[in-house]
Structure 1
Amino acid sequence: KLLIEQDIPLDSADSDHRTALIHASRNDHYDVAKLLIEKGALLLPVDGDAGWMERTALMFASYAGDEDIVKLLIERGARLDLQDRNGKTALILAAYKGRSYIVRRLIYHGAPLDITDNMGYTALYAADKVCLGVVGILIEEGA
Structure 2
Amino acid sequence: MSQPTMSFTPEQITTLFIDAARNGETDLVTQFLDAGMPADCTNNQGYTPLIVATYNEQLDTARLLLERGADPNGVDAKGATALSGVAFKGFEPIARLLLEHGAKVDHPNHAGRTPLMFAIMFGRQAMARFLLDHGANPDLRDAEGLSARDLAHRQGLGSLFEAKAPNP
Scaled by the length of structure 1, the TM-score of the pair is 0.87
Q: Per the alignment, in what secondary structure is the counterpart of residue 46 of structure 2?
A: coil
Partner of 1:5: 34
Q: Residue type matched to 1:5 in 2?
A: D
Query: Superposition pairs for residues 98-109 of structure 1, below 5 Å?
Result: 98-109=123-134
Q: Residue type matched to 1:26 in 2?
A: Y
Once the two structures are TM-superposed, the CA of residue 126 in structure 1 deviates from its matched residue by 2.1
Cα deviation code 1:91-110 (max 9, x no counterpart) = 00101111111111111111
Give yes or no for the alignment of 1:140 onto 2:163. Answer: yes
Q: Residue type matched to 1:84 in 2?
A: N
Once the two structures are TM-superposed, the CA of residue 129 in structure 1 deviates from its matched residue by 4.0
Scaled by the length of structure 2, the TM-score of the pair is 0.75
Q: Residue type matched to 2:101 in 1?
A: R
Partner of 1:24: 53
Once the two structures are TM-superposed, the CA of residue 7 in structure 1 deviates from its matched residue by 1.9
Q: Distance in 2 between matches of 1:76 and 1:105?
A: 16
Give yes or no for the alignment of 1:90 onto 2:115. Answer: yes
Once the two structures are TM-superposed, the CA of residue 31 in structure 1 deviates from its matched residue by 1.1
Q: Per the alignment, in what secondary structure is the counterpart of residue 140 of structure 1?
A: coil
Choose 1 or 2 for highest CA Rg: 2
Gaps of 5+ in 2: 1-28
Q: Residue type matched to 1:27 in 2?
A: N
Q: Residue type matched to 1:140 in 2?
A: A
Question: How many residues of Structure 1 are paired with residues of Structure 2 in the alignment?
Answer: 135
Once the two structures are TM-superposed, the CA of residue 140 in structure 1 deviates from its matched residue by 3.5
Once the two structures are TM-superposed, the CA of residue 26 in structure 1 deviates from its matched residue by 1.2
Which of structures 1 and 2 has the larger relative contact order (alpha carbons within 8 angstroms, sep 6+)? 1
Identical-residue share of aligned pairs (%) = 33
Give yes or no for the alignment of 1:73 onto 2:102. Answer: no
Once the two structures are TM-superposed, the CA of residue 6 in structure 1 deviates from its matched residue by 2.7
Q: Residue type matched to 2:159 in 1?
A: G
Gaps of 5+ in 1: none
Once the two structures are TM-superposed, the CA of residue 115 in structure 1 deviates from its matched residue by 0.2
